[in-house]
Amino acid sequence: MSNLLAILRLELFLSRFSLTAKILVLAPALVCLARFALVWLNQAGQQARASLIGADEFALAQAQNAYGQFVDGVNTGLTILALLLAAAAAYDFSSERDIGSIRHVLIRRAGRASIVLAKLLRLHILGVLSLGLLGLAAWAGSALIWDFGPVVEDGFELISEQEILYEIHLGLLMAVIPLPAVIGFGVLVSVAAQSATQAVTVALGATLAMDIFKALLGERAWYLYATFHPSVLDQSYLREVSRLVRGFSDVLVEDRFFIYNGWIPLVSVVVFVAAALLLVSRRGL
Amino acid sequence: MNEANPALRVRGLRKRYGDVPVLHGVDLELSAAAVLGLVGLNGSGKTTTIECILGLQRFQEGEVSVLGRGPADLFRLQGDVVAIFDSPSVPPHLTVRQCLEHARRLCPRPVRDCAEVERMLGIESYTRYRIRQLSLGNRRRVSIAQALLGEPRLILLDEPFNGLDASGVDRVLELIADLNRETGAGFLLSSHQLPYLERVCSHVAILHGGRIAAAGKLHDLLADVGSRVILHSTEPDLALKLLENDARVMVLENHSATHLMLRLRDWRSDELVAHLVQHEIPVCELVQQRASLDNLFRELTAGERK
C-alpha cells in the first residue's frame, strides 16, 4: 500500500508536465464554454428575428433559462471527457511501456499491480479535477449569459427551481457513475495493446462503436456501461434532464434504467480492472 | 554477500518466444563487487537474459535470485537493483532536470542530488533541455545519471556504450570502476564492445547458442586461451598435416590459402618455427597475437576445428 501511494505521487508529479493531463483537465470546460458562446450568438440572431415577427412565450422562457443551458453544457463537456478519459487511459500505460520508463518503476519501487492501480487512481483524480472545472465553467458561463430560475409559462410554474436542482443532481450522478468504467476500459486496452498508437486507436474506436451499436441493441444496451454516460449518440439520463429542466413533461424513464445505470458500470469497472491486473501480471514489459 | 550467497545467481534459465527457444539453460553467477561482462553474438539472448533477471519477461524454466530476491520482487529491494537499458528509457517530454527529479522520487534512498549526477555524467549544460532534443549519447548519459541517484548494490547495463563518443565511454568506464571500488556495487554489463568490457570487467560470461559457452574471471579465461599465432607458409597443407596430431598446438582455422591460425600450449613460437623448419616446411612469417577477450570471443563463437 505504501508503494501504491509512492507511485501515485510519482504519477501526479509526471502529470504536472504532461500535455495529455492538461488537455484532459481543461478541454471539457473549454468545449462547454465554446458551446455557450455559439448558443449565445445563435440566440442573439433568433431574438432579433423574434422581435420582428413575434415569438412563442414558452420557447422564449426555455431559451432564457440558464438551467437548460447548464445541463447542455455539462452534457457536452462530459461527452468530451468520456472520450478523453478513454484515450488518456489507453495511452498512459502503453506509452510508458513503449518508452521503457515503466521498467524503472517496476524494478525500483512497485509491483505490476500497484503500477496499474496507481495509474487508475491518477486518472480518477484528473477526472475529478476535470469534472470540477467543467461544473464551475458551466455554472459561471450559463449564469453570465442566462438567468437561473423556474420555468414559467403564462404565470404558471411548469417546474420549480427545487425540482430542477433535484433532476440536475440525479442526472449528473447518473452520468458520472459510468466514468470509472470508461477509465477501466482504457486501462485494460492499454495493458493489452502492443503499442500506444494501437491502444489509443482501439480505445477510441471501441468507444465510438459501442456508441453506435447501443442504439441498435434496445434494452440489451442497458448491460453496456457506455449506454449511461453522455456521448455523441446520447442515451444517458442527463439528456432527459435537459428536457425536464426546460419544462417538458413527456420524459418517460423506467425505474429499471436507474438500477442498471447504478450497477452495470460498477460491475464493468471491476471486470476491466481485474482483467487488466491479470494481463499485466503475465505479459512482458 | 559472499561467494556462497552471490549478488546474482541464474540456474538453468530457459526461455522461448512462442515456439522459438532463445535460452537453453543459462547458468550465471555474479559475486558481490564483481563486474561481469555478458557477451554474445546478435540474437544470442543477452537482452532476454537481463530482462528475465529483472522480471520483465516470464521464463519457462530456471531459477533467478537477485540479492536473495526473485525477479518479481526486485522492487522490494528498494532501489538496491537498478538497470540501464539498450534504449534510453526516459520520457521524451521531460527536461533533463525533471527526468532526474522523477528518478530521485523513484529512489527510496537517494544519496546524490540531481546537480551532482549531472556533473558526474557531464550533462550539466543540458539541464533545461527536453530529452527529445538530446542526442542518443546524451540521452544515454541521462539514463545512466538516473541510476546513480541512489546507492545501488547491483547495476545491470544493457549495451551501455551505444551512442556514446570516446570521452563518454571513458567517463562511463571510469564511473563503473569508481563505483565498484568505492561502494562495492556489482555490475552486469551486456555489450558488443569487447575492448571496453576488457578494460573494466573482472569476470566474463560468453553466451552462445542459448548457453554460457565460457564463464569465469577474465584473467583466468585469457590465460587459458594461451598464445595464438598466425603462421604464413607457402606449404600450409604440409604444416597442417604435421601439426594436426601434435598436442602442443591447436589449429584454430585456415586463416587464408597461405595462413593458419594456431594456438600454442606449453610451446614457444621459436620452438614451433624450429619444428617446422626441421620438417622442411617453409615459414615466411609468424605473427604472435595477444590473448584478448575479442580473440577468445571469436574463438568460442566460431567453433574450433580441432
Under an 8 A CB cutoff, do B105 and A10 touch? yes
- Cell numbers given for A60: 422564449
Which stretch, A184-188, A247-251, B262-266, has highest mean pLDDT?
A184-188
- Cell numbers given for A149: 430560475
Q: Are residues B242 and B173 in the same domain?
A: no
Q: For the domain that residue B63 is a member of, what is the CATH number?
A: 3.40.50.300
Per-residue pLDDT of B120-151, as tens digits, reads 888 999 999 999 999 888 888 898 899 889 88
Q: For the domain that residue B269 is a member of, what is the CATH number?
A: 3.30.70.250
Question: Taking all residues of chain A, what is their mean pLDDT, rounded to a whole number?
Answer: 90
Under an 8 A CB cutoff, do B92 and A14 touch? no
Q: Is the pLDDT of residue A11 over 50?
A: yes
Under an 8 A CB cutoff, do B56 and A108 touch? no
Higher-confidence residue of A234 and B13: namely: B13
Q: Are residues B119 and B133 in the same domain?
A: yes
pLDDT of A59 reads 66
Number of inter-chain CB pairs under 8 A, A vs B? 76
Higher-confidence residue of A21 and A245: namely: A21
Under an 8 A CB cutoff, do B92 and A18 touch? no
Per-residue pLDDT of B13-56, as tens digits, reads 999 998 899 999 999 999 888 999 999 988 889 999 999 999 99
Q: How confident is the model at residue A62 (pLDDT cuts 50, 70, 90)?
A: low
Under an 8 A CB cutoff, do A106 and B75 touch? yes
Q: How many domains does chain B have?
A: 2
Q: Which domain holds residue B240?
A: 227-290
Contacts of B87 in chain A (CB under 8 A): 100
Among positive and negative, which fits the CA dihedral A249, A252, A253, A256? positive
Under an 8 A CB cutoff, do B85 and A13 touch? no
Q: Are residues B173 and B54 in the same domain?
A: yes
Q: Are residues B174 and B243 in the same domain?
A: no
Q: Are residues B192 and B246 in the same domain?
A: no
User: Which residues of B lie inside 8 Å of A (Cβ-Cβ)?
Assistant: 51, 54-58, 72-75, 78-79, 81-83, 85, 87, 89-94, 98, 101-103, 105-108, 146
Q: Are residues B148 and B16 in the same domain?
A: yes
CA distance A259 to chain B (A): 42
**Spatial distance between the Cα atoms of B239 and B260, rounded to a whole number of angstroms:** 9
Say if CB A139 and CB A25 are below 8 A apart. no
Q: What is the mean pLDDT of residues A114-128?
A: 96
Question: Is B303 inside any structural domain?
Answer: no
pLDDT of B2 reads 47
Q: Are residues B93 and B202 in the same domain?
A: yes
Q: Are residues B132 and B281 in the same domain?
A: no
List CB contacts of B97: < 8 A, sequence separation 6 or more: B114, B118, B127, B128
CA distance A267 to chain B (A): 29
Which of A1, A99, A101 to mutate against chain B (most B CBs within 10 Å)? A101
Q: Does A17 touch chain B (CB under 8 A)?
A: yes
Which residue positions in chain B have pLDDT lower than 50?
Answer: 1-2, 304-306
Looking at the partner chain, which of B56, B92, B108 has a beta carbon nearest the beta carbon of A103? Answer: B56
Say if CB A269 and CB A86 are below 8 A apart. no
Under an 8 A CB cutoff, do B146 and A104 touch? yes
Under an 8 A CB cutoff, do B56 and A104 touch? no
Nearest CA in chain B to A99: B89
List CB contacts of B94: < 8 A, sequence separation 6 or more: A14, A17, B102, B130, B131
Under an 8 A CB cutoff, do B107 and A108 touch? yes
**Spatial distance between the Cα atoms of B249 and A153, rounded to a whole number of angstroms:** 111
Contacts of B101 in chain A (CB under 8 A): 13
Q: What is the mean pLDDT of residues A115-130?
A: 96
Q: Are residues B242 and B184 in the same domain?
A: no
Contacts of A9 in chain B (CB under 8 A): 105
**Spatial distance between the Cα atoms of B69 and A73, rounded to a whole number of angstroms:** 54
Per-residue pLDDT of A83-92, as tens digits, reads 999 999 999 9
Q: Which domain holds residue A216?
A: 2-282
Looking at the partner chain, which of B94, B103, B108 has a beta carbon nearest the beta carbon of A17? Answer: B94
**B14-46 burial: b if 16+ Cβ within 10 Å, else e:** bbeeeeeebbebbebbbbbbbbbbbbbeeebbb
Task: State the residue for C-alpha cell 467543467.
Answer: A134
Q: What is the mean pLDDT of residues A116-121?
A: 95
Q: Are residues B202 and B57 in the same domain?
A: yes
Q: Are residues B282 and B247 in the same domain?
A: yes
Q: Are residues B186 and B40 in the same domain?
A: yes
Looking at the partner chain, which of B83, B101, B102 has a beta carbon nearest the beta carbon of A107? Answer: B83
- Phi, psi (degrees; rounded to nearest 5) at B74: -60, -30
Q: How many domains does chain A have?
A: 1
Under an 8 A CB cutoff, do A108 and B79 touch? yes
Q: What is the ipTM of this complex?
A: 0.81
Looking at the partner chain, which of B81, B102, B146 has a beta carbon nearest the beta carbon of A14? Answer: B102
Burial (Cβ within 10 Å: 0-12, 13-18, ≥19) of residue A52: exposed
- Cell numbers given for B263: 594456438
Q: Is the pLDDT of residue A64 over 90?
A: no
Under an 8 A CB cutoff, do A101 and B91 touch? yes
